[in-house]
Amino acid sequence: MKDSFTLDQIRRFSLVVVLIGLVIGMTGAVRSGSIVLSLGASAFVLARYTQQKVKRNIELLLPIMICVMLFILAISLPNAR
């Protein structure tokens, strides 16, 4: 049995999680959709960053900070459904 997942499998899974977050957000559960979307996007960014040969910090920090801000915004929504 395999011990770990490949980076391509992690990227595909995170894209599916992002799509699920979008669908959840469009159907009315904005807070849950935003949280799922931010977690899936951050997993995608991390998997993509580890596959790059030339690694620059801005290519990791900027998308991760956007995902963190989306997560914080989703938690701080007062009356999200």
**pLDDT computed for residue 32 by the predictor:** 87
**pLDDT computed for residue 81 by the predictor:** 54
For the chain, the domains span: 7-74
- Spatial distance between the Cα atoms of 65 and 71, rounded to a whole number of angstroms: 10
Q: What are phi and psi of 19, to 5 degrees?
A: -65, -40
**pLDDT computed for residue 7 by the predictor:** 78
Query: Is 68 within 8 Å of 45 (Cβ atoms)?
Result: no
Per-residue pLDDT of 61-70, as tens digits, reads 999 999 999 8
- Please, is 55 exposed, middle or buried when counting C-beta atoms within 10 Å of its C-beta (0-12, 13-18, 19+)? exposed
Per-residue pLDDT of 26-44, as tens digits, reads 888 888 888 999 999 999 9
- Spatial distance between the Cα atoms of 49 and 74, rounded to a whole number of angstroms: 25
